[in-house]
Structure 1
């Protein structure tokens, strides 16, 4: 560049600087790869939340579940029930993390006021960001300083008359030296299923619970007994159960209930003829299997008074190498329904508790109920077993009669299935009605 002879030294220096900047920009445009070589770049924190187990206070429908906000797809979304405050959505990062940034991509139903909170155990929460004048769109919350395994977005005021809806929640940060869990999978469970009716009757419930179960598309299905009413004859299995839950028979892992013993052809005759090796993979009506870091134990509570099954259970648990244990059978030790507590299950509970089991699933009483962690004597303890009664698969509902200690939630009259989300280190669940709505969302628990 040639300067006028009259240019001052200051102007000359200015032009020189400008020329140098123009030249540098030109080089970087022509050779963008040189930018990284010349300018040190700080590595961005990773997205920790994608694909991790998520739960919410409510969902508008089964297609708008909590997991949709963590699937990496901006076209999907979570939506809460409409017109209610507060509402929340949470994610289990799988390990303790230092969180530096959270982005929230709101749908039209946004929050004007909300908190972002973290927790080590999913029970006690600490705010790391607060918004009181939200206007939707995308909120990019940077410069955060929080540490925990769980993160929750807790909405306290809606911006519309609808609910809360997020296309995507992204949590950025670093894991504190622990690899997040792998092998996450979903299981659907229900008990007390096929009344003697078909989809031709609008009041017939088991085709509706089957349809909802199939929509979830789980890894496999569990049944907690009384699969076919009233006497579990093979003809009835073929006429009723097979027309609904039979659609995913090969992916089902059943156990028998008391109605399976009423078959005039002999106890379990129809049950065994229908399920065959599916229900007797180890030659008995009780068996075990593994999936991911979970050990599942399927038991026959009709014969808990027989030493053979009890000894088998002890030996099976002694051989287990998995970090999480779930067991399921028909008769619950604890229940607020018409049948109430059944002491026949207490010896099994003692064995499971001694083996540090995490979860027990039962049927028999035709309602949904979840209990806080407790020991076999019904005392709430941190290392206790969580019991869920899921007897609303299609049989006539029973009323709640006497609420038991440690019972946290009870639903009667609303048919549905349990949707269990399991990882290598923990689990959570929802009770999903035949309308696709989550009627209850359980806490997220870490395996013992």
Structure 2
């Protein structure tokens, strides 16, 4: 090709020789690996480039700059030297000083406080959400409409995050294009579901799920280092979170994940403990936890092998998805068999947990072992199934769309199941004394 023709092609494409084509933002930004003094931002562009983040503590002082080395399509930039519990505004840009986002309250985050700080904490949990349907959008809007002023501090994904097979395209269509606003403001903490695992592998940490998310392996956000992104822990204020992989990691009682969980809970000093994983230990919805072979035995194995560890570590709430319904237990402890083996002594409070009905569930302060936990199945954030809802540990079961909102305020945790029209379909309180 002669030089004159090559120059003409550059001109027609709007790119001068030696310059880089202006990139377009295809994904994100989204927040990962939050810590009191750092935050990771990720995004995707249509062409390789050097990614830059400008940031500051007000919209008019977005002058600090960070970038990653090399030229990438999937950009990962860590902002370091931040202040705890501080709002930062940010915008994305390129090496040519072209900005990809505006400076506004939509592109802002608040760093976590120093671990152990007692302050209000809001958690949003969605399960089996990524269907790309009207149901998913309605559930999202129900949450947005009710909590518009303060969406969340912590965002949990309970697995089956991107149907049908957890491919990169599925994540783009059913996750990133649906929850853009939340991604820009609230760090997300996922767990692996069976549909995500169709294209991901936990032993090798490979596949779209592990490519998309940046998760702690070294205890960067609190908790004991797990050495893997498949399961991990993190802290936010006075709440300790434990994410387990019920799908694709060894679930034996003496395996690496179980050993790590014991060590992490033994080291924990936070006031509250929330655990989450995909397969529910108790369900009579679209899955039956009494059937030994349901989901390859995963429900039964998590119940037998991990609930004893969690309850010995003082867990307060255990969240799961997989069953496309909503189910919520009484305050229970020590039930590791089938529903026919439930003893009266295993139900520590048979009430509703509703302060305005028969009173909140009460526990002693701290993380004393075996003082009761509430188990919630929230697998209806994108579609609903059906079920008998007759497991004796459950206080309520609903074939309704919705998501979970957890509000921690000192010694009180208020949990709501919020429907697709923003209505509160269930609620309960745990109070520590």
Task: Using structure 1 for the length normalisation, give the TM-score.
Answer: 0.54
Measured in 1, the distance between the counterparts of 2:284 and 2:418 equals: 20
Alignment of 1:399 with 2:333, yes or no, is no
Alignment of 1:381 with 2:348, yes or no, is yes
- SS in structure 1 opposite 2:122? strand
Which of residues 293, 296, 319 is equivalent to 2:241?
296
Alignment match, 2:172: 238
1:231·1:264 contact (CA, 8 Å) conserved in 2? no
- Aligned pairs for 1:128-167 (under 5 A) are none
Measured in 2, the distance between the counterparts of 1:246 and 1:376 equals: 40
Shift of residue 376 of structure 1?
3.5
- SS in structure 2 opposite 1:446? strand
Shift of residue 353 of structure 1?
0.8
- SS in structure 2 opposite 1:258? coil
| Deviation digits for residues 215-247 of structure 1 (CA, Å, limit 9, x no counterpart) | 421112111111011110111111221111344
1:260·1:268 contact (CA, 8 Å) conserved in 2? no
- SS in structure 1 opposite 2:288? coil
Alignment match, 2:413: 427
Which of residues 371, 386, 397 is equivalent to 2:329?
371
Measured in 2, the distance between the counterparts of 1:350 and 1:301 equals: 15
- Aligned pairs for 1:177-216 (under 5 A) are 182-195=118-131, 197=132, 204-215=134-145, 216=147
Alignment match, 1:262: 198
User: Considering only CA atoms, is the larger Rg found in Structure 1 or Structure 2?
Assistant: 1
Alignment match, 1:34: none
Which of residues 374, 397, 402 is equivalent to 1:410?
397
Measured in 1, the distance between the counterparts of 2:265 and 2:200 equals: 35
| Deviation digits for residues 135-191 of structure 1 (CA, Å, limit 9, x no counterpart) | xxxxxxxxxxxxxxxxxxxxxxxxxxxxxxxxxxxxxxxxxxxxxx94122111111
Measured in 2, the distance between the counterparts of 1:432 and 1:220 equals: 16
Alignment match, 1:313: 261
| Deviation digits for residues 101-122 of structure 1 (CA, Å, limit 9, x no counterpart) | xxxxxxxxxxxxxxxxxxxxxx
Alignment of 1:286 with 2:231, yes or no, is yes
Identify the structure with the greater helix proportion.
1
2:325·2:385 contact (CA, 8 Å) conserved in 1? yes
- Aligned pairs for 1:85-124 (under 5 A) are none
| Deviation digits for residues 318-362 of structure 1 (CA, Å, limit 9, x no counterpart) | 110112111011111101212121212121110011112111011
Shift of residue 214 of structure 1?
3.9
Shift of residue 278 of structure 1?
7.2
Aligned pair in 2 of structure 1 residues 221, 368: CA closer, same or farther (>3 Å)? same
Measured in 2, the distance between the counterparts of 1:292 and 1:264 equals: 32
The answer for unaligned runs of 5 or more in structure 2 is 1-116, 290-298, 336-341, 350-370
2:165·2:198 contact (CA, 8 Å) conserved in 1? yes
| Deviation digits for residues 361-412 of structure 1 (CA, Å, limit 9, x no counterpart) | 1101011111001123152125221001111110x31102351002111111
Alignment of 1:445 with 2:430, yes or no, is yes
Alignment match, 2:210: 272
- SS in structure 2 opposite 1:301? coil
Shift of residue 445 of structure 1?
1.1
Measured in 1, the distance between the counterparts of 2:181 and 2:192 equals: 19
Task: Using structure 2 for the length normalisation, give the TM-score.
Answer: 0.56
Shift of residue 292 of structure 1?
2.2
- SS in structure 2 opposite 1:241? helix
Alignment of 1:343 with 2:329, yes or no, is no
RMSD after superposition: 2.4
Measured in 2, the distance between the counterparts of 1:338 and 1:270 equals: 27
Measured in 2, the distance between the counterparts of 1:268 and 1:326 equals: 27
1:261·1:268 contact (CA, 8 Å) conserved in 2? no
